[in-house]
Structure 1
Amino acid sequence: MSAPGAAAEANAAFRRRVGAGARTVPVVFDLATRAGLDSDASGARGLVGRCGVPVDSIDDMRVLFGGLRLGRIFPTLAADASAAPLLLLYQLVAEEHGTPARRLAGAVRNDVFRGPLDHGPGGLPLRSRLRLAMDVVAYGLAELPRWQSLSVCGHRLAGPGADPALEIARTVAGGVEYLRAAAAAGLDAHAVVPRFSICLTAGATARESRARLRAARGVWARTTRERLAPGLPAPRLYVRHSRLDPPSAPPRPRPPASAIEAAALALLARTDRPGGALTLLGLDGGAGRPAPRPALRPHPAADALRARQSERLAKLRAWRIQSAVDEALRRLHGAAESDDNVLYPMKEALAARATVGEVCATLHTAWAPGLR
C-alpha cells in the first residue's frame, strides 16, 4: 500500500531523492493505473493507491513531477498495460516545463508477455499488445531518442521457483518475439535492441548472478544469430532479487554458466515447432504462468484516496472542453483501426485532458471490444 498522500507525497519523496544527489527516480504506479483504470471506475475499487501512486490524468502527472528538472533525471516508470499513456503524460509535463523531448531520458516497464494484470479488466490479446508495444518503440525512435521503451521481466515471466535455464529461455524467447514484431512493423532490429532491457532473478550469491548473466548473453547471441540476424547487440541485462520465493525455500543447485546456457538452448529448440514460442512463454493457456496475487485485504486508506481521486476526476471532466476530448478519442480509435501509430493521437487526447482510463478504453473498444 502506498502512502495515502498520493502524487503530492510521492513528489516530495522525489525531491528529497534528487536533492540528495540521485538522478534515477523510480516511479511505481498503483494497480488501478497499471491496469488502465481510472480511480473512479467500478473495477478500481480496492486498487487505488495499492502498490504505488494513482495517476488518472495530466493533472496528476503535473503534481507528481512538479518542481523537478526533468531534463536532468532518469525516471523509471513501472507502467505495465498503461505504458503508452503514462509515457506520453510524462512527455507532456516535461514540455510544459520547457524541456524538449530529445533531452528526456528514462525507461518504462512495458512487458507485453506478462499478460494482463491479475486485477482489473481483461487485457488486450497478445497481438494487440505487441502492436501497441511496437507503436511505443517507433514513437520513441522518432520522438524520444534517449528513452528505453521495452522490457522482458524474466523474474516474473518464469514464475516462482523456476530454474535459471527455464527463466533465461523464456526471457530470450520474449526478446526474439519483440524483434520479430519489430521487423513486421518495418523497424530495424539493430535500433530496437538498445530500447529494451532484460531482468533476471538474482542468484543466491554475486557469483551465481554473474553466471546467470553470462549464460543469458550467450543464449541471446546464439539465438539471435541463428534466427534473426548476425551481429545484433545484447539488450541491457540486470538481476533483481525475487519476492516470489518463500524465505524458507531450500537452497537450489548452482550450475555453472555453461550448463545453464546449454539447458536454456535445449528449451528454446522447442520454439522451432509451430506454437512453440507461446508454449515456452506460458501464453498458450497452459501451465507456466506466474502464480496469481493473493486476494487484497480491505484498507481504509485506499477508499479515502479513491474518494479524493474521484473528486479530482469530477472536477477535471467538468472543466475540460468535452468536445475536444471526444474528437481526440475518435481520432485515436481511427488510428487503432488502421495501421497508424496510436501514440500521436493518444498524446493529443491526453493533452486535451482525456484520462488514462479513457484512452485505454478506446483501445479496448477498437481491438478487443468483448474483453472490457
Structure 2
Amino acid sequence: MGSQITTDAGIPVEPIYRDNDRQPEPDAGQFPYTRGIYPTMYRGRLWTMRQYAGFASAHETNERFRYLLNQGQMGLSVAFDLPTQLGLDSDDPRAEGEVGKVGVAIDSIDDMATLFAGIPLDKVSTSMTINAPASVLLLLYELVGAQQGAASKTLTGTIQNDILKEYAARGTYIFPPRPSMRLITDTFAYCAERIPRWNTISISGYHIREAGATAVQELAFTLANGIAYVQGAIDAGLHVDEFGPRLSFFFNAHNNFFEEIAKFRAARRMWATIMRERFGATDERALTLRFHTQTGGSTLTSQQPLNNVVRVTLQALAAVMGGTQSLHTNGFDEALSLPTTEAATLALRTQQVIAYESGVTASADPLGGSYLVESMTDEIEQRALELIRHIDDLGGAVRAVEDGFVQAQIMDTAYDYQNRVESGEQLVIGVNKFVTDDAPVPIFKPNEAVAAEQCAKLAKLRAERDQAAVDAALADLQRAAEGSANVLYPMREALSQRATVGEVCGVLRRIWGEYRPDVAI
C-alpha cells in the first residue's frame, strides 16, 4: 500500500470515496448556500470577469482599462502603487523609487478623473484593491462620478478596505488597529446612506494565502476577520441586516483542485451559519457569502513561465466550479513583471474559454454529491471552525493580530512549505522537477518618468487650488477625527477642494498615530 497522500492543508485524501450516508445539501440558492448563492448560478448570469490592472500614470492605466473592456472584460479592478496604498503623495520623500511601480499613482481628484476618463461610472462596476486609505479612494471615485453626472446611488463596485489582513500578512497599513476599525465602520455607515449599492469591504483571504497560509488557515482567518468587522459595526450602532448585504469576500485559488472547490463551498456554509446564529441576521442577502477570486500569484514561477498558463487555468476552473461571483486570472509572466498586454489578454481569454466552451456553467455546483468533494468540504469546515474558536478564546481577530498569533501561524506554514519545496517533497514543475533552460519572454517595463510627472502635477495643483478652502476642510476633518463624528463627510469636502491623498491621511496620522508592529511580518 502506498504512503498517505494529503492536500496542501494536510487533509488526508483516500484512494476511493464512498457514500457515507450524509444528508444531501439543500439546493443552490437555499440556506446554507453550500451549493451556491443563486438557484441556477451561471445559467442565470456568468461571473464578472474583472481583470486587475494599474501601472505608472492614470492616463496609461486608463488606456489599459479601455483596451480590456473592448476585449470583453466585464468590470474594472484597480491596482494602486505603494505610495497610494500607504497614503503618501508622489512627492513625499518616502515615495521615492516606488511611484507607479506596482500600480497606478493617485494623488488627487485630478488623477482619479484621468483614470476613468471616457468610462461612465454608472455603467461599470469597479473594484479597488486599497485598504488603509480605502475610504479616501472611494470618496475620490464618488466625486469623479458626480463630475460625470452619475448619482452616488448608481455606483457599484467594491473597496477591499480589509485592514486586519494587512497587519497579519501584507503590510500596507497606516493607523493602529482600533482607529482603523473605526474608519471601516464609518465607511459602512457612509455608504449605507450615500452609496447603497457599493460593497463596503472585501474581506480578504487572498493575501493571507499569498503570505503562506494553507486553505484552512485562509478560510479561518478570513472569516474570523469578518466576524470582527461585523461585531465592530454592531458596536458602532449599525444593524446587521443594513450593512451585512454589502459585505463581500476575496479568496485565493491555488493548484490543489478539489481542495479549493471544497474551501469555497465550506466558506458559504460557514458564513451563512455565523451570520444567522451568531449575529441574528435575517436578510437573506446578509447570509449569502459573495466572493471574488484571484488565481494564486505565489504559485507562479519565473522558471518556465508558460507553465503558469496551465496553473492559472486549473485555478480559474476551481474558482468557477466553486461558485465565485467574479474572477481575476493572472498573467503567465507575473513572476517576472507586471503583465504585458499579450499576457493580460490571454488571461482574460482563459476565463472566456471556461465560460463559453467548457460546459461547466450549465449546472449549479457540478461537483456537488461527489463523495470526495463533500467529505473534503466537511473536513475543511471542521478544521477552520476549530481555528476560529481558538481565535475567539484569544479575544477575537483584532487581539489575535495585536498579539502576533495570526502572523506566527502564517510564517510557520510558509517556512514549512519552502522547506518541502527545497527538499523535493513538494513538487513544482520547472523548479525542482523537469527543470530545463528557459526561453526568454517579453517583460513589461513601466514608465520611469511617471514620478517626475506626478510631482509636477502636484506642484501645479497646489498652486491653482483655493488653499484657504483646503485648510478649512482639513481642519474640519481633524475635529471629526478627534471626536466621534463620521470622518468621511469632512474628508469628502477636503478632497472636493483638491486636497491630496497624502494631506488627508496626514491629518489622520497626526491624530491617530501610525502602527508599528511588535512582530515582523
Asked whether the equivalents of residues 70 and 94 of structure 1 are also in contact (C-alpha less than 8 Å), the reply is: yes
**1:140 pairs with 2:191:** yes
Asked whether the equivalents of residues 271 and 288 of structure 2 are also in contact (C-alpha less than 8 Å), the reply is: yes
The aligned residue for residue 206 of structure 2 is 155
Alignment equivalent of 1:33, drawn from 84, 101, 107: 84
**1:214 pairs with 2:359:** no
Kindly state the Cα deviation for residue 235 of structure 1 after the two structures are TM-superposed.
Answer: 2.8
The aligned residue for residue 284 of structure 1 is 403
Alignment equivalent of 2:390, drawn from 260, 270, 295: 270
Alignment equivalent of 1:179, drawn from 189, 209, 230: 230
The aligned residue for residue 240 of structure 1 is 294
Asked whether the equivalents of residues 113 and 144 of structure 2 are also in contact (C-alpha less than 8 Å), the reply is: yes
The aligned residue for residue 126 of structure 1 is 177
Helix, strand or coil for the counterpart of 2:132?
A: helix
Aligned counterparts of 2:134 and 2:504: Cα–Cα separation in 1: 12
How do 1:189-208 residues align onto structure 2 when only pairs under 5 Å count? 189-204=240-255, 206-208=257-259
Per-residue CA shift, 1:12-46, capped at 9, x if unaligned? Answer: 22223334454401111111111100000011112
**1:10 pairs with 2:61:** yes
Aligned counterparts of 2:180 and 2:199: Cα–Cα separation in 1: 17
The aligned residue for residue 354 of structure 1 is 499
Asked whether the equivalents of residues 267 and 289 of structure 2 are also in contact (C-alpha less than 8 Å), the reply is: no
Per-residue CA shift, 1:82-129, capped at 9, x if unaligned? Answer: 211111111111111111111111111111112359677x62111111
Helix, strand or coil for the counterpart of 2:296?
A: coil
Aligned counterparts of 2:273 and 2:515: Cα–Cα separation in 1: 40
Asked whether the equivalents of residues 28 and 78 of structure 1 are also in contact (C-alpha less than 8 Å), the reply is: yes
The aligned residue for residue 338 of structure 1 is 483
Aligned counterparts of 1:181 and 1:225: Cα–Cα separation in 2: 17
Residues 176, 370 of structure 1: alpha-carbon distance in 2 compared, 3 angstrom cutoff: closer
Residues 353, 230 of structure 1: alpha-carbon distance in 2 compared, 3 angstrom cutoff: closer
Task: Return 5+ residue gaps in structure 2 as ranges.
Answer: 1-52, 304-371, 415-443, 517-521
Residues 353, 170 of structure 1: alpha-carbon distance in 2 compared, 3 angstrom cutoff: same
**1:304 pairs with 2:355:** no
CA RMSD of aligned residues (A): 2.7
Kindly state the Cα deviation for residue 48 of structure 1 after the two structures are TM-superposed.
Answer: 0.6
Asked whether the equivalents of residues 80 and 109 of structure 1 are also in contact (C-alpha less than 8 Å), the reply is: yes
Asked whether the equivalents of residues 152 and 174 of structure 1 are also in contact (C-alpha less than 8 Å), the reply is: yes
The aligned residue for residue 59 of structure 1 is 110
Asked whether the equivalents of residues 101 and 446 of structure 2 are also in contact (C-alpha less than 8 Å), the reply is: no
Moved more, 200-209 or 214-223: 200-209
Q: Structure 2: which amino acid aligns with 1:308?
A: E
Aligned counterparts of 2:144 and 2:277: Cα–Cα separation in 1: 43
Q: Structure 2: which amino acid aligns with 1:141?
A: A
The aligned residue for residue 229 of structure 1 is 280
Per-residue CA shift, 1:204-229, capped at 9, x if unaligned? Answer: 25543321111112222333344322
Residues 269, 260 of structure 1: alpha-carbon distance in 2 compared, 3 angstrom cutoff: same
Moved more, 268-277 or 303-312: 268-277
Aligned counterparts of 2:171 and 2:93: Cα–Cα separation in 1: 12
Asked whether the equivalents of residues 27 and 76 of structure 1 are also in contact (C-alpha less than 8 Å), the reply is: yes
Aligned counterparts of 2:515 and 2:164: Cα–Cα separation in 1: 21
Asked whether the equivalents of residues 335 and 342 of structure 1 are also in contact (C-alpha less than 8 Å), the reply is: yes
Helix, strand or coil for the counterpart of 1:66?
A: coil
Residues 226, 272 of structure 1: alpha-carbon distance in 2 compared, 3 angstrom cutoff: farther
The aligned residue for residue 258 of structure 1 is 378
Aligned counterparts of 2:132 and 2:179: Cα–Cα separation in 1: 11
Residues 65, 240 of structure 1: alpha-carbon distance in 2 compared, 3 angstrom cutoff: closer
Residues 170, 104 of structure 1: alpha-carbon distance in 2 compared, 3 angstrom cutoff: same
Number of matched pairs: 357
Asked whether the equivalents of residues 164 and 398 of structure 2 are also in contact (C-alpha less than 8 Å), the reply is: no
Q: Structure 1: which amino acid aligns with 2:60?
A: E
Q: Structure 2: which amino acid aligns with 1:175?
A: G
Q: Structure 2: which amino acid aligns with 1:288?
A: Q
Asked whether the equivalents of residues 270 and 277 of structure 1 are also in contact (C-alpha less than 8 Å), the reply is: no
Q: Structure 2: which amino acid aligns with 1:168?
A: L
Aligned counterparts of 1:188 and 1:119: Cα–Cα separation in 2: 31
Aligned counterparts of 2:74 and 2:295: Cα–Cα separation in 1: 22
Moved more, 39-48 or 282-291: 282-291
Aligned counterparts of 1:119 and 1:270: Cα–Cα separation in 2: 24
How do 1:359-370 residues align onto structure 2 when only pairs under 5 Å count? 359-368=504-513
Kindly state the Cα deviation for residue 134 of structure 1 after the two structures are TM-superposed.
Answer: 0.9
Asked whether the equivalents of residues 203 and 250 of structure 2 are also in contact (C-alpha less than 8 Å), the reply is: yes
Aligned counterparts of 1:228 and 1:271: Cα–Cα separation in 2: 17
Sequence identity, in percent?
39
Asked whether the equivalents of residues 213 and 410 of structure 2 are also in contact (C-alpha less than 8 Å), the reply is: no
Asked whether the equivalents of residues 190 and 233 of structure 1 are also in contact (C-alpha less than 8 Å), the reply is: no
Asked whether the equivalents of residues 161 and 245 of structure 1 are also in contact (C-alpha less than 8 Å), the reply is: no
